[in-house]
Amino acid sequence: MRALLSVSDKAGLVEFARGLAELGFELVSTGGTHKTLQAAGLDVIYVSEVTGFPEILDGRVKTLHPRIHAGLLATRRPEHEAELQAQGIPRIDLLCVNLYPFRETLARGASFEECLENIDIGGPAMLRAAAKNHQAVLPVCDPADYPEVLQALRTGVSSEFRRRLAYKAFAHTAVYDAAIADFLAYEKFPQTRLLSLERLPVELRYGENPHQEAALYALEGQRGPVLHARVLAGKPMGFNNYADADAAWGLVSEFELPACVAVKHANPCGVALADDPKTAWERARDADTLSVFGGVVAFNRPVDLETAMATRGTFLEVLIAPEVSPEALEWFRSKKPDLRVLVAAPQDADQREVRPLVGGFLVQDRDMRRWEELSLHYVTERIPTAQELLDLKFAWYVGKHTRSNNVVLAKDGVTVGLGTGAVSRIWAAERAIQNAGERAKGAVLASEAFFPFDDVVRAAAAAGVTAIVQPGGAKRDKEVIAACNELGIAMVFTGSRHFKH
Which residues form the catalytic set?
Answer: 132, 265
Q: Is 121:64 a contact under the CB 8 Å cutoff?
A: yes
The secondary structure of the chain in percent helix, strand, coil, rounded to multiples of 5, reads: 40, 20, 40
Q: Which of 187, 169, 176 is nearest to 221 (CA)?
A: 176
- H/E element, 120: none
By DSSP bridging, strand 444-447 and strand 490-493 are: unpaired
189, 257, 332, 364, 489 from 386: Cα distances, Å: 42, 17, 39, 35, 14
**How are strands ordered across the β-sheet holding 259-264?**
230-233, 340-343, 316-321, 295-299, 259-264, 267-273, 414-419, 407-411, 444-447, 467-470, 490-493, 377-378
Bond into 405 cis (ω within 30): yes
> Parallel, antiparallel, or unpaired: how do β-strands 138-140 and 94-98 relate?
parallel
Contact present, 336 and 316 (Cβ < 8 Å):
yes
Which stretches does DSSP call E strand in 383-486?
407-411, 414-419, 444-447, 467-470
Look at the chain and count its residues: 501
CA within 13 Å, CB half, 159 = 1
β 316-321/94-98 pair status: unpaired
